[in-house]
Every structure is written in C-alpha cells, then in structure tokens.
Structure 1
C-alpha cells in the first residue's frame, strides 16, 4: 500500500483564510535553531534527506504553521499577479510553491505513521484541519481559478510541451471537481464538510491505532501458545514484558487485518477464538476506541459532498478521475470473480470441515479456525508449511539478494548501505541507489518491524520527491509490520512477508525511477487504480528462478532452498485462493457499498449495514469475512482509499496481464525492464493511464491472466 498521508503538491493548490501571525523563525550561527527552523531550508545532507539527528518533536507545530503561512502568501501572490496569466507565472509558479510545507509535512507524515507519540498525535489533530482548509481555499480561490481557466481555454494556442499541457489540464479538472464552479454559499458548505472530514479521518486513525494496541491478546502460560515457534513465544514474552505484565503472561499484538498471522499455527482452539475475537471487535467496544459513530458521520458527509459537486454519490465522485472512470465499471470488474469465488469458498469450507471431523473435532470450521486447518490441509496436500520456508528467508538476504537483485537485473540499479545518515528509529536501514550508468539516483529507507506506535500494514512514501523543475532526486521509504524477532533470534520472515517486500519495493521503484519535470505528475502521484500496478507487478519477480535462487538460502548453512520445496510452493500457489482473494473482494465490495449511498441515506447502524452489504455480495462471508471490517477499515476511513479499495484488484489485473506480456516477449530481460521503466515507472501521470498501458503491451488489459493466476480459470 502506498502511503497517502502526505498531501501531494497537486492537493495544495490555493490559499488559506488568514491565520494568526506566526513569529518569524530565527536562525543565527551562534545559537541553536528555533523550534521549526530546521525545515526553513532544504537539508544539506545528501539528496536533501531529512537530518533526523536535529529534528525534534517540538519542531513540527511551528514549522507546519510557518509552512502554511508561506504557502498562503505564495498562492496569494500568484492569484493577485497583475500580469496576464502565463504558464510560467501561474502553473509553474504553483508547482514551485509550498516547499517548506512539503519538507515538514513529508517528515511529519512519516513519523505519525511509523513512529508516533502523544505529542505528534496532538499536532496532527490540530493541523490536519488547517491543511485541509489550505487545500480548500486554493481549490476555491476565484482569482486563481480565473487565471488557470484563462490558460486552459486557450491551451491549443499556447504551444505547450506534452507534460505542460497535462499539468494544466489536471489542475483545471481538479479545481472543477473540487468545487471551483460552485456558488459562494456552496463553497462555504464544501469547506465546512472538508474540515470536518479531515478531523474525523485523523481521529479515526488515532482511535484505531489505540484500539489495535489495547486489543492485543494476553494469555497465561505457554500452553495457550502451543504451536507457535520458540521465536514467536519469545516475542510474545517480550511483548508482555514491554507492557510490564507479570511473569508467565504472554502478549500477541494485533495486525490491522481481520486474520492474524498466529492463527495458522495456534493449536489451542480457545486461543484461536479469543485472538480472532479480539481483532474482530477491536473498534466496537463502546468505549474511547469505538469508531462506529464517526464512520456514520463520515459516510453522511462524503455523500453530501458528492451531492454538492453534482455527483449521485461519493463513489461516482471518487472514481471519475480513475482508470475505471465509474463505480459501475469497478463493480462489474469485481463481480466477474464472485461466482467462481463463492463456489470455491463453499467447496473449501466443506473440505476443511471434513478434515476437522477426521481429526476428532466436533465443531464446524469458523474464520478463527480457517487458517489453522487450511495450513494442515496444505501440509497434507503439499507437505510443507511456513516453518519449513522461514529458515530460507532471512530479511536482509531477501532484501539485498532478492528485491535489490531483481531491480538490478531489470533496471541496472545498484545499492550500497549508508551508515552515515541519521534515521528516525534504530530499526531503519538506509541504502544509496545508483543508476545503470553509475550516477546517483535515490536514497531508500527500510523500516520493517512492528511497533506499538506504528500504524498497521505496509506502505511507501517519499521524504523528497523527484522533480526536474526543483532539481531534486527522490528519497523514498518502505515501512512494514513484520514480527520482530526476540534478541538473539534470527530475523526470519514468512513467505507472505517476503512477497510484501517485493510489493512495497515496486512502489519504491515507481518513486525512484520517476523522470518528470513537474512534481505534481511525478512518481506515485497517480490514480488509486493505477498506483498499485507497479507494486503488484514487482511481486512476480520473487519467484523468478534466478531471483529465488539468489536469496532463498538457509540462514545458518547458506544452502539454497531445496528444489522439492520450491516445487511444493509452486504447486500450492493457488491453494486457499477462496479465502485469500475472497476476503479482499468482500472488502472491496463493502467499500463501494458504503460510498454508493446518496445524500441523506446514511444508515443508523454500522453493523446492520455491513451485514446487509456482505450478504448482498454473493460471497460466503460466514466462512470468509472481509479482510477489513467496517470499524477497522483504515484504508477507507483514514487512509485515502474511500471508494478506491477496488483498485488493488484492478491493478492486479494490470499486473498479471503485463507479466503475461513479459513472458510472451522473453521474460526478465534488461530490454523488457527498460521498456517497463520508460512506459510506466518513469511516467508518473504524464499521460492517460490507458494510453500508458497500451504503450507497454500494445493492447488493453484482460482479466484472463489474473483469473488463471488465481486458479479461478
């Protein structure tokens, strides 16, 4: 998942109503910098990467306020320029604006996601509405829009380069979609709605992080953890010690999804049921961390926003500038998978119940049991499990000899560890990336381990964006939530974790290989149903024989993963797809149901609406619940993916179809990698998405390769 917390420049295109004066930030050569002044100028470190050795929590509030003030002044200057509008004094000036705000917000967003604390959360809650107000007053600035519209109306006569025409068109369309043509009264309503939504989205994220931490399962005695490895038991003991619990207690922290990793190994059914229940109800306890009331408010506000802007519902508004274009196209795409998925789910549930009975169980399989018994079934069918695979997946080896190796084979990139650059947490590692000609290309930060003050999931974002206009090279980071080993234990990851590493690095490549003049169309500044394409596509190289052989080596002996184990993994590739894909499609359809509500029709009961929506999906949700329940669906209530979670499936279609093109044209070659780099990775949003895709493959995408890869056809 790409990070979307940091507001892109394209989102911050206008002026805020005047704020209280912010004192000038003093800078002298003889005294320490005033709070916030660290962000007044670009960092002097390589690639302008943030100097975390000097950044303090107390810097963020004043720096954000000063950044907003500066951005406001710059926008006012553009809007009130007495000269006739030109591309340079209007559009290019917008692209250059807000540099201090971008610097501080990039770091602040990274820390509130990956290493937050009460101080940062408080600043986030205070400043999020200010940033939204800034964005609104840019979008709704009549004078600024008049200048952009004047250029847009005469665009054919302006002799613009293709990227300039694209930036102009996107800015005009964005302002129209965000209310530039509304009446003054409706603009005021829209500002109010956006401010409320910003506050609610920030509060949702904070409540969910707290609720996920508080809902961690506490058990007494090792017997409750039977089935977990020694390393996992040690990690559970350390988690309990970190929380200052008495000896003999163990803690299993929750990850953000419905299923929890330990459910595949826990032999004790009572522990499985308790762990699943903790995750399922983490945000539904009626206390401080219950998110349901704010979800209802968000749904109602989004529907009203869509009505104001002339759309029948929020999904229609959100998808109008995506590759899919309409929610009907998104639902049609998802529904192509439902019949085969539902049939496979019922078939798999029956097979698991048969296994339960054969092993003496006197119960029907539930979602809490599914992973455990499907693991036994996989072992029975294919004779392997994660415990056999993990010794061959030491995390640094996976990263350097797998993820980086593939990038070298395809794009000619080389990676060198940097130990001289400060980081925001000891878990973080930094690499310098050089291009195929040896030139400096980017910096890459890697933050893999779960922490209580880190939000769930995995994501990518930038500390510094690529921009020819600004002369900046990308500084990119990947953040994940893998189970950290206890001290002295090897840093082993699961097969799924390794796959996530390849996925998130696909986002990193999209950022690092960007080659655009204007920051608003560079890197991952693309539609939700396109931005996941490079990341999902990059997953394919994990099992490429030359790549797998280079990193899948035993952490103790260095022996390669046995060919028979590799064969078992390949044979099992489509095993349990009824669950793996079904839980995602259920969540995607649930998201679209929530955001297809017309104004004035928001339900009163979150759970009742969710149950009805899931029942209408046609999927076997009794056995395969959605990957994210409404109450902890961070993607759509606090993560920017409202009405866009379908994008993961849509981009998976692009991924498999593009991989089929690679296979049909010689596979993993430098020539094919260069074509993918030239037509997709370097392009950002420099062209229409469908056009970019056809430039790669020569055809429109087909769902057939995806269905085959998933074992559904």
Structure 2
C-alpha cells in the first residue's frame, strides 16, 4: 500500500517519513495530479452560475493531497537528497509545471473566475476573500490566461524548461560542493584554527579512512578556515575553490544554465506583455517596479560606499602593519577583519562560542517566543522524522491549545544543501470550521557536537538560528482561512521582516541573559562581552552592506531589462563594478552558484533583504521604545503581522502595527552609517 495516497493516520496528521519509500513518490504524484484534474473539471462543469464559493474557494482547496505529497518530496530533496531522488525530481518537476499550466491556461475555468471578479464590488466579501479573489484572478491573467493559443503553448514550453534548468542548477552546485576537499596532513598548516574546527576536520578525515584533517566547502568547515587559518596559500586555495563552484568547464558548469534561465525569463515576461522579468515580478511586490528597486539600492550604495571605502583602507593599513601585506585579496578579507575586530574589541568568536551552546540558544529562542507571544515548545518523541538529527516539538499557546508542530534540523550532511532555511510540511488554514494547524521546519548547517564538546555556535550562527526561527513564527502563528494566504505566503519583500526582526533580540542583554550561558560553568555571558557584541555589531558594516548591495544590483542587471548574456563572468564583473573593493579573481564567478536567484525564488527579489532591514530596524525601534518584551507591542506585531499572512497589502498590515510607514533612519543609525 502506498502510504502517500491516503490520509496520514499519524499523530496530528504529521508526515509518516519512516514509512515512505522512494518508489511511493511518483505514483502518489500521478494520483494527486489526476485527483486535482477531477476537482478542476467539477468546478468548470458546474451548471450553477459562478460564485465565490463554487469557483474561487473550490479552486483554493483543490489539489490539497498533491500539495502535501510534493511539499514532503521537495523539502527532503533539499534536506536529505540522493541521486535517485534528484532523478525523480527531474521527472516530477515538469509534470507539476504542466499541471499548473493546464489549470492556469484553462479558458473555461478562467471565464468562471473572471465572472466572479467582474462582480466583486457587489459580493460583500471580507478583506481576506477580496484578497484571495484578486490573487486568483491575477494568478491567471499574469500567467497567460489572456494569451492566444500559440502563445500559450510557447509559455508551457518555457515553464517546463525553466523548471528543469533550476533543478539542474542546484544539483550542479551541490555536486561541486561535495566534490572538493582540502586534505591537510601537515599539522603546521592548521596554525590559527580553533580547536573545535580542527577536531571536526579530524573526525571527517577519520570517517573517510584518511590520515590528517579534511576541510570542505560546507560553510561550517569553509568559514572558520578562511577566517582563522594563518596559512595564506591554503586560504587562497580553498577560497578559489569556493568561488569557482560550477565555473570549471566540466559537467557541472552552470554558465550555459545561467544564460538560458535569464533569456527564458525575459521571453516569458515579454510574452505576457511585460518589459522585463523584473517588471513582471515586482508588480506583486511592495517595491512595485525595477526603477524603484534600483533607486533604493543606489541610494543605500551612496550612503554606504564612503563608509565601506574608509573601512577597506583601515583594513588594508592593518594588514600592512601586521604582515607587511601590500594588497588585500578576497581570501584575506575574513582573516584580517577577524584580527582587527579582536584588536579593537578584544572579542572573537572563540571567546563567545562557549556561551552559545546550540541547545541553550534554541531554548533561548523558545523562551523569547514565550515572553512575547505566550508560546511553549515541548519536545516529543512520538512524531516521525526523516533523519536522526531532527528534533520534533509540539507548540502550544498560553491556554494549552496546539499552535503548530515544529521540526529542527541543524547539522550538515552529504544529502543536504548548504545554508539555512525555513519551510513547512503542512500549511495552516480553516476548513469546515476546523483550524488546521501548520507543521513548520527550520533547517541549518551548524557544527556538529564532537566527542568532547557540544555544538557551540558562532555569534553569526546564533543570529541565523533566530532569523530562521522568526520565519518559523510567521508560519506557526498563522491564522487565516485560506492556505495560499497563510503564514509566509506574503509579498516577497515583506517575508524577511519577521525573520530579521527576531535577530535583534540576540544583541539585547535582557535576552542574552536567558540563554548565553557558559556550557561548562553555567556562568551568564559577562556584560563586557554583551557591550562588545553591541559595539561590534556595526563593525565593517559598510563593507557588509556593499556586499549585499552587489548581489541585489547583479540580480537587477540580469532581470531588470531584457539582456543577452554573452559571457557570464564579464557580465557579472560589470554589474558589480560600483561595489567592488577587492581585486577580481579570474578563476571565480559568483553567478553560477547564486542559488537564491537561479534556483530559489529570489530572482528580482534579492534587494528584499535590505528592504526588510529598513522594516525590521523601524519595527524593533518600537519594541525598544516600549521594552523588548512589551506585551502590548508584541500583541500588535502578532495580530497585525505574524498571524495575518498575505490577507492584506503588507504596507497596510505594517501601518496597523506601527501606526506609520517605516523610515530608513533607524537602519542607517543601527548600521552606524549616519
């Protein structure tokens, strides 16, 4: 019996991971597709006149079982994949794209939606219903429903090809990450490295039956190496390896994939009557159009560049003084930044890490959520999981009602992609009077515990955990009727507000006192360290801002106007010129592993990290004004932002919470740029 084809008979209807076989997915997807088609036919062939209930709501709740199956499949394809699974993904993706197009390009279905849309003024809809109707209508009109037949079939071809290209892009980056190792056998080459980094590298070598130490391009291994290793040649070697992933003219090269994706996205946009891919995407964002995004990025660039150039001169002078270095290269940046930070603040990650035991930090995030939103997290052991590293929790509100199921998955492994993300295995929605609660997961890549030490986080990893936890709260506290408007289903440049605002608690003494305790002595982090964390928060912020802006500007160059990319490297270099501080590295190209925009959903949206920083600095200023655990401000944030999902325009929701539009001053002040 295929476990994926029926209702899960599990606690809280959670995914029965251990019972799923790889061979279950394809039949379950096919079954789900035919079920969804039946549901669509029922809507189209309904002899009653189109209404909000029999057309819009019916469409919203169609394909529920298929969504459940594909969500599980694609989440695991990111967190616990294998070659067989990747092959399956290549087969399943086009099928789903085709179904999506079958629905969007169904003329009779669109006619019914349009009939309801045309009488929207007289329907007495709630705000959420009106938003859903608008979203469904635009979902069709923006994706080809109004096109002539020949153009519709070209649209289908483009979408099928893009779905495959994005998957291949990601698989190539993962393969290149897995294919490299820096194998060190000479102990003197480890000079400068923290002892837990060395211990982890030794364990890895042991697991591969090799002598010595192995470092990889996984961030928990790569990042400490380029930050602390005194051996400049080895830093150079691993940094170049990191920068040339999928740029090596081998079977995993992504240059042609980048060119094809960019070209197809523009062709698709123009087919639909838009000037460029960005014009198409940004119509459904707070930023509205490419000009607004570019002026936002360039305005920040103007403010940050003088600071970044000053900082770079300071860093260059420091490297000259310390090691008589004349020219800073990219593999020197993290190393000398860390050394300068130690000199200025006498504070390094190695001093801080003992205070940030992973388990304590996670419990700290839970406690912050309890004080702000009344949530409690209880670990449970009778919910199925997809890997032994995963932990499962029941989340309840102050009255003991179930709010969500929460999964955490924190350590790197071979089948897991780099980075950190939040996702969900089941959305929240209300149907037939039952409020279905969400199943939410956060996935990170932190250093694993060793034989002698628990997992200890760098401060940067602490903020990463809080960031993803902020996304998770957005998902868990969702309280909307319709799944497509629930939780993180909001405008893309609004989605980072809940995650980025949560990072602020990591800098507050009142919050740090909860979880920053020495893993051996239990001593709370000393106040002087807290002061230094705050003081150093804006250390080299100009350089960091320029780096983020460079990615945003590159994204807009690819997508903001129709372009033909002849040479990916040259194109990238020109686009990033205004933000460049370091000399270019000929062997490296960032675009070919820029998964956010070529595999994930951030194309024409990378600017939203900075955009959301403006929102989050402004929002947190409100908390600071009233007290960082102020119940009234927290309730406003929960009721107007976290629980509302995409039911209203984000600026409307933000103003309900804050009483005004956000001002960029709070961000510039926090970043030390004014």
Q: Provide the secondary structure at the position in 2 that maps to 1:166.
A: helix
Contact between 2:104 and 2:143, CA under 8 Å: does it hold in 1? Answer: yes
Counterpart position of 1:262: 225
What's the offset of the Cα at 1:580? Answer: 2.1
Q: Provide the secondary structure at the position in 1 that maps to 2:494.
A: helix
Q: Distance in 1 between matches of 2:534 and 2:594?
A: 32
- Quick check: 655-664 or 187-196, which moved more? 655-664
Q: Distance in 2 between matches of 1:656 and 1:42?
A: 43
Q: Distance in 1 between matches of 2:298 and 2:398?
A: 43
Counterpart position of 2:141: 176
What's the offset of the Cα at 1:540? Answer: 1.2
Q: Distance in 2 between matches of 1:630 and 1:185?
A: 33
Q: Distance in 2 between matches of 1:624 and 1:579?
A: 18
Counterpart position of 1:460: 422
Matched, 1:350 2:350: no
Counterpart position of 2:6: 41
Residue by residue over 1:457-484, the C-alpha shift from the partner in whole angstroms, topping out at 9 and shown as x without a partner, is 1111111110112631111000011122
Counterpart position of 1:336: 299
What's the offset of the Cα at 1:423? Answer: 0.9
Q: Distance in 2 between matches of 1:597 and 1:635?
A: 19
Counterpart position of 2:445: 481
1:580–1:235 distance in 2 versus 1, CA, 3 Å: same
Counterpart position of 1:129: 94
Q: Distance in 2 between matches of 1:332 and 1:621?
A: 24
Q: Distance in 1 between matches of 2:552 and 2:382?
A: 43
Q: Distance in 2 between matches of 1:405 and 1:508?
A: 14
Matched, 1:445 2:407: yes
Counterpart position of 2:526: 562
Residue by residue over 1:490-535, the C-alpha shift from the partner in whole angstroms, topping out at 9 and shown as x without a partner, is 2101101010111001110001100001111111111110111111
What's the offset of the Cα at 1:624? Answer: 11
What's the offset of the Cα at 1:455? Answer: 0.9
Residue by residue over 1:80-113, the C-alpha shift from the partner in whole angstroms, topping out at 9 and shown as x without a partner, is 2222111111111112211221111111111100
Q: Distance in 2 between matches of 1:315 and 1:430?
A: 39
What is the aligned-residue RMSD (CA, Å)?
A: 1.8
Q: 1:508 aligns with which of 469, 472, 476?
A: 472
What's the offset of the Cα at 1:629? Answer: 1.5
What's the offset of the Cα at 1:40? Answer: 2.0
What's the offset of the Cα at 1:574? Answer: 0.6
Contact between 2:193 and 2:225, CA under 8 Å: does it hold in 1? Answer: yes
Please list, as runs of the form range in 1=range in 2, the aligned pairs for 1:525-674 lying within 5 A after superposition.
525-598=489-562, 601-615=563-577, 617-620=578-581, 622=583, 629-674=590-635
Q: Provide the secondary structure at the position in 2 that maps to 1:337.
A: helix
What's the offset of the Cα at 1:186? Answer: 0.8
What's the offset of the Cα at 1:346? Answer: 2.1
Q: Distance in 2 between matches of 1:662 and 1:94?
A: 40
Contact between 1:47 and 1:474, CA under 8 Å: does it hold in 2? Answer: no
Matched, 1:676 2:637: yes
What's the offset of the Cα at 1:621? Answer: 5.3
Q: Distance in 1 between matches of 2:430 and 2:518?
A: 43
Q: 2:331 aligns with which of 368, 372, 381?
A: 368
Residue by residue over 1:544-565, the C-alpha shift from the partner in whole angstroms, topping out at 9 and shown as x without a partner, is 3221101000000100111111
Contact between 1:215 and 1:254, CA under 8 Å: does it hold in 2? Answer: no
Q: 2:38 aligns with which of 35, 60, 73?
A: 73
What's the offset of the Cα at 1:639? Answer: 0.6
What's the offset of the Cα at 1:644? Answer: 0.7
Residue by residue over 1:316-365, the C-alpha shift from the partner in whole angstroms, topping out at 9 and shown as x without a partner, is 11111001111111111111211232222222222222222222334411
Q: Which runs of 5+ in 2 are unaligned?
A: none
Q: Distance in 2 between matches of 1:672 and 1:249?
A: 50
State TM-score, norm by structure 1: 0.91
Please list, as runs of the form range in 1=range in 2, the aligned pairs for 1:221-300 lying within 5 A after superposition.
221-244=186-209, 246-255=210-219, 260-300=223-263
Residue by residue over 1:614-657, the C-alpha shift from the partner in whole angstroms, topping out at 9 and shown as x without a partner, is 11x354354899x9910100011111111111111111111111
Please list, as runs of the form range in 1=range in 2, the aligned pairs for 1:97-136 lying within 5 A after superposition.
97-136=62-101
Residue by residue over 1:651-675, the C-alpha shift from the partner in whole angstroms, topping out at 9 and shown as x without a partner, is 1111111111222334421111111
Q: Distance in 2 between matches of 1:547 and 1:699?
A: 27
Q: Which runs of 5+ in 1 are unaligned?
A: 1-32
Structure 1 residue runs of 4+, over 4 Å off?
none
State TM-score, norm by structure 2: 0.97
Q: Provide the secondary structure at the position in 2 that maps to 1:310.
A: coil
Contact between 1:212 and 1:256, CA under 8 Å: does it hold in 2? Answer: no
Please list, as runs of the form range in 1=range in 2, the aligned pairs for 1:354-503 lying within 5 A after superposition.
354-400=317-363, 402-469=364-431, 471=434, 472-503=436-467
**Count of aligned residue pairs for this structure pair:** 671
1:369–1:464 distance in 2 versus 1, CA, 3 Å: same
Contact between 1:340 and 1:712, CA under 8 Å: does it hold in 2? Answer: yes
Contact between 2:244 and 2:589, CA under 8 Å: does it hold in 1? Answer: no
Q: Provide the secondary structure at the position in 1 that maps to 2:55.
A: helix
Counterpart position of 2:108: 143
